[in-house]
Amino acid sequence: MAKILIVGCGAIGSELGRVLSVQGHEVTGLKRNPPESALDGIRYIAADISSAADLAALDSDFTHAFFIVSPTGRTEPSYRAVYETGLNNLLDKLPKTWWLMVSSTSVYGQTQGEWVDEDSSAEPTNITSRLIRQAEQRVMAANSANIVLRFSGIYGSGREYLLRQALQTPAIQQTPPYFTNRIHQHDCVGALAFLLERSIAGAVLDQCYIASDDDPAPTWEVMTWLAAQLNCTPPTAKHSADAEMNKRCRNSRLKALGYQWQYPGYKDGYAALISTKKPLEGGFSVLQ
């Protein structure tokens, strides 16, 4: 049994905690505003990681820790608070702990439809992505066993932006294709638990993995398919002189390690998500 800390217990962190608790691990969750009582086997501690004082009483003998944070806003100070000050506080507090940091494929600056993998250049242009990239480097430099896991666009229950957008007959770039990459939140939890299991088993692991499904697809293709599933008007083509193609994320390294996707493509994941919705005239009740 491992003694595990989960820093950031939103939808993914709390579900991961539940899964690991069921497996028999001792799980502690750090959260700014935790529930009043323990849920799903997680012992919650209220803490703001940007405050070293908040972490003073935290146990120092965690064997494994997950860094799954969400800044309070999309501003440079918010990102510095967690990816710089907060992360440094935690690494100073737990220098001997195995860390897995959840990162983002936004650290790739490629925009011309290139395929990217873990060996591709990661030189983002915007400050928030640069701060995430710097945090990655800090985690990997702290211990050669530490891991960075880069999620692409997360979707699932409560993350239904594309479904709501599809209902509104959006204007979507068709030519050139603007590629999108995504991962179902169940696979986010699955990949995190899988990497922990492989680490405990003594497997030789890389320091960086991309977690994105098998099907990077153009936005036009995705939205047209969603409109058909929702029985609503398909999108219209948007023409822009500044059109970009984005990037395509390759997940070969994680698959080679043995991870099996619950939702290998957007059709699998969104079909399952749509099937849970209550139909109403003109859309779905939870999407209005």
The per-residue pLDDT string of the chain (288 residues; one tens digit each, 9 = 90 and over) reads: 899 999 999 999 999 999 999 999 999 999 998 887 666 789 999 999 999 999 999 999 999 999 999 999 999 999 999 999 999 999 999 999 999 999 999 999 999 999 999 999 999 999 999 999 999 999 999 999 999 999 999 999 999 999 999 999 999 999 999 999 999 999 999 999 999 999 999 999 999 999 999 999 999 999 999 999 999 999 999 987 778 899 999 999 999 999 999 999 999 999 999 998 754 434 444 443
DSSP 206-266: -SEEEE--S--EEHHHHHHHHHHHHTSPPPEEE--TT---EEEE--HHHHHHT---SS-SH
Nearest to 105 by CA among 249, 243, 265, 221: 249
pLDDT score for 38: 67
Find out whether 171 and 237 touch, Cβ atoms under 8 Å: yes
Q: Report which residue type is found at 274.
A: I
Task: Read off the DSSP letter of residue 279.
Answer: E
Distance CA 95, CA 187 (A): 28
Domain range 3-158+182-211, CATH class: alpha beta
Question: Angle at Cα 259 formed by Cα 192 and Cα 224, nearest 5°?
Answer: 90
Query: Could you give the CA distance from residue 65 to residue 99 in angstroms, rounded to a whole number?
Result: 5
- For 116, phi and psi rounded to 5 degrees? -125, 145
The whole-number pLDDT of residue 281 equals: 39
Q: What is the pLDDT of residue 9?
A: 93
**In the chain, where are the structural domains located?**
3-158+182-211
| CA dihedral sign of residues 124, 130, 132, 133 | positive
Position 270 scores a pLDDT of: 98
Q: Is the pTM of this model over 0.85?
A: yes
Q: How does strand 179-180 pair with strand 147-151?
A: unpaired
At 244 the pLDDT is: 85
